[in-house]
Structure formats: C-alpha cells, structure tokens
Amino acid sequence: MTAAPRIGAGADRLAALDRRFLARAVELGRGGWGRVHPNPMVGAVVARDGTVLGEARHEEFGGPHAEAAALAGLGERARGATLYASLEPCRHTGKTPPCTEAIHRAGVARTVFWAAEPGAEAGGGGKWLRRRGVRVDGPFGDRADWAAENPVFFHRAAGSRPYVALKLAVSLDGRIAPGGGRRVWLTGAEARAEVHRLRAGFDAILVGTRTWKSDDPLLTARGAVKPRVPPVPVLLDRRGEATAGLRALNGDVGGRAIVVAASDAAGGLERRLAGRAEVAAVPVTRRGLDLAAALGGLVERGVGSVLCEGGGVLAASLLTGRLVDRLYLFVAPVVIGEGGVPAFPHAAGTIPGARTPPAGGWQARLDPVRFGSDTLIVLDRGG
Ligand code: AOF
Ligand code: ZN
C-alpha cells in the first residue's frame, strides 16, 4: 500500500487530466524501488485525448529509461501525443541514448514533467525539447517534494555523506521497548514486510552494538522486492567484539558486510574476522564512535545510502548529531507505559550531556500510510 503521490504546488495550473497522468507517472516510477538506485525512480505515460497509449518505468539500473520505454512500440501512434514523465527527460547519452531524442523523434507534441533533472550532464532536457518545437510544461513543485520521492538520487546530487534514513517503531507513548532489556514486537506483520521492502532500496543497513549483540539480526531484505544489489549489513563495534559467526556476516551468499570499529581495535578485529567482513577504522569521540567519520568511511566504500534500524542509543546519537535525513516512524497502537525506553532519549534528558536537537525541522512531504494496525509516518529533514 502506498499513499497517492503529491505532485505539489504549481501543478494546479494544469488540467485535472494532466495532473492525473503526472501522478500516475510518479506512481509508476515508485515500482523501481530497490532496482534502480542510485538512479532515480522514473515513470512515464504517453496519452492522447485522455487515453493512455503507453506507460512504463525505469525498471532496472542501466536499463532503458522510462520515457524511451513508454514510447517503444508506439510508432506513428505517438505522433502528436503528450508524454508525461516524473522527471525531466534526460538530454545525455549515458548507458542509454537521450530520452529527449526519443521524444522528439517520435513526434510527441507536448511533454509534461514533474521534477527538474538535477544532474548537470543529464539536465536541460526541457529546454532542448522546447527549442525543437515541443510544448513543454514543468517542473512542478519544489526540490523537497522531488527529494521526498527520490531521496537518495537528490541527496547524491547535493551531498558528500551517505543519505541516512532512521527507522523507528514506537508505541503511542513514544517508547521503543519496555524497560529492563526486555524486547517486544511493537508492529505487526504488514509493517515488518514494509521494512523488508524499504531495506531493498538502501545500499546498507546499519545497527549499533547493542542491537547486534542482543538480536544477532540477519539484516537482509527478505520482502516483496528483491534488491538488485543486496544491502550491506554494517555493524558498529567500537571495541572490536564482533565474531565471524554473526548472522549478519553470513547472510547473503557472497554478500559484503562491514564492521566499524575504533582505530585501536580495528587491527585485531580484522584478523579475527578473517575476511568475513570489511573492517573500517574510525576515531572515537567523547560519546563513542565518531559517527560522522563512520558515515564518511561508508561513502569511501561505495555506500551511498544507509537505513539505520537501531537501537535506541544509536538512533539518538544520529539524531543529536543531525546526521539523519529521513525518519521512518512506525507507530503501533500500543502503550508501553512507565519505565519504557523512550524513542528520543535526548529529549527526555536521559543521556547526560546530550544536546537536544532543535525542535521542528522535520517535514511530512509524504502522506502517512497504514500497514495493518500500524501507521508509517515519513518525515524528511527540512532546510
Ligand atoms: C530519464 N528517465 O527513466 C531515468 C533518468 O546511466 P544512465 O544512462 O541510465 O543515466 C542515468 C541518469 O539519467 C541518472 O543519473 C538521471 O540523471 C537520469 N535518469 N532520466 O529521463 C529515466 N532513469
Ligand atoms: Zn533518459
């Protein structure tokens, strides 16, 4: 289940039918989750007089782009039609020829696109088409709207550290577990299936020391979407205590795993793990592993996006360090009550000396979605 795309401000000057096809293009594009990154998810619809002639998505990294795929096979029928795309058609020759040329060659009379292409090389497709007499409408909405749909792609166009999403499952009273180290499942099967689907869209799944010690998680994507490249499990391990038998280091056959340790523990750990995982050495700060350095080290290892799945201490540290770009907040209709572990302990002052992150700054660009009796709230960092 997904929420209908919000194609945003500005699009209200389009006819209702145009908005519908544009939203359809965005929705189609979403089906590329887990298969196209770090490319954007893109969908395209070719229509004439309210009738859809063809539609497609960018299905696979390196494969045909959405526009070219939607036009394929239409031949003369595309002449005079309108093409709707969720992203400005590319103007560059990458792994495939420019979409702009395919659109122009097909005789498309009008192109309506939603997000502006941020890449210097691929960008400018709208202008290119206009110059050749194609009527072009777009972009609509703003960069934050587009980034909400294609977070990793738009982050990559701007940033140097990996895109970081933090998943938290919380009770109605904002707690992630009962006290005393006890563990419970807060969310139901549908929400857990969604987490597996989400995992497929990230380069890495990150957990803190307490989590791998207590849960020995697999950290693989075992959901409806089979990731094109399985996400790499990343374990934080300041003292270098990980062992070669951990499930996350033995999950996907031939898969990678990364253990991040303090510089003084990394050498010994590397020897003990004997090739089972890559060991990244990072400095230690007063609060533990230097998380910004750890994330920087992941970029050097080709990790462009990270889904952090716990635990609470790591989540709080990431939030406090302003290192989180997106929150996936699953809210379960249960109350844990007194003594429970708060989802945002720094706010409750339970980590001595922790800085409280500035209030606000989180934006709900996507609508909440229900999974069984749980609700997923997606919040993107503003500014
Ligand atoms: C589009 N439609 O469906 C996609 C676009 O390496 P390539 O050739 O696949 O090009 C990837 C770049 O093209 C990507 O970084 C982004 O700028 C654009 N992606 N453009 O018009 C599509 N996937
Ligand atoms: Zn293209």
Calculate how far, in angstroms, residue 363's C-alpha sits from the geometric centre of ligand 1: 27
DSSP calls for 179-232: STT-----S-HHHHHHHHHHHTT-SEEEE-HHHHHHH-------SSSPPSSPPE
Calculate how far, in angstroms, residue 67's C-alpha sits from the geometric centre of ligand 2: 7
Calculate how far, in angstroms, residue 133's C-alpha sits from the geometric centre of ligand 1: 23
Residue 67, classed as helix, strand or coil, is helix
- Block means of pLDDT (10 residues each) for the chain, 383 residues, are 77 91 97 96 97 98 98 96 98 92 98 95 95 97 93 81 96 90 88 97 96 92 94 97 95 84 97 94 94 95 94 87 93 94 64 52 90 96 78
φ, ψ for residue 331 (rounded to 5)?
A: -105, 120
3-state helix, strand and coil shares in percent for the chain, rounded to the nearest 5? 30, 25, 50
204, 305 in Cβ contact below 8 A? yes
DSSP calls for 3-51: PPP---TTGGGS-HHHHHHHHHHHHHHHTTTTTSTTSPP-EEEEEETTE
* For ligand 1, mutation pick of 28, 39, 121 (most atoms within 8 Å of CB): 39
Ligand nearest to the CA of 88: 1
Q: What predicted TM-score, i.e. pTM, was given to this entire model?
A: 0.93
- Residues paired with residue 136 on neighbouring β-strands, in sequence order: 111
Residue 88, classed as helix, strand or coil, is coil
CA-nearest residue for atom 23, ligand 1, is 65
Residue positions counted in the chain: 383
Indicate whether residue 89 lines ligand 1 (CB < 6 A): yes
Indicate whether residue 118 lines ligand 1 (CB < 6 A): no
CA–CA separation, 58 vs 70, rounded Å?
A: 10
pLDDT digits (tens, 9 = 90+) for 36-72: 999 999 999 999 999 999 999 999 999 999 999 999 9
Q: Which residues of 142-158 are buried (b: 16+ CB within 10 A; e: fewer)?
A: eeebbbbbbbbbbbbbe
Q: Encoding tokens for residue 166? A: 């933090």
CA–CA separation, 73 vs 76, rounded Å?
A: 9
Calculate how far, in angstroms, residue 304's C-alpha sits from the geometric centre of ligand 1: 17
Indicate whether residue 96 lines ligand 1 (CB < 6 A): yes
Show which residues are catalytic: 67
Q: Tell the residue number behind the tokens 């592993």, with chain if given.
A: 289
Q: Counting runs of H as helices and runs of E as strands, what totals does the chain give?
A: 12, 19
Q: Tell the residue number behind the tokens 């229509």, with chain if given.
A: 47
pLDDT digits (tens, 9 = 90+) for 159-202: 679 999 999 999 999 999 888 877 788 999 999 999 999 999 99
CA–CA separation, 246 vs 265, rounded Å?
A: 18
Indicate whether residue 374 lines ligand 1 (CB < 6 A): no
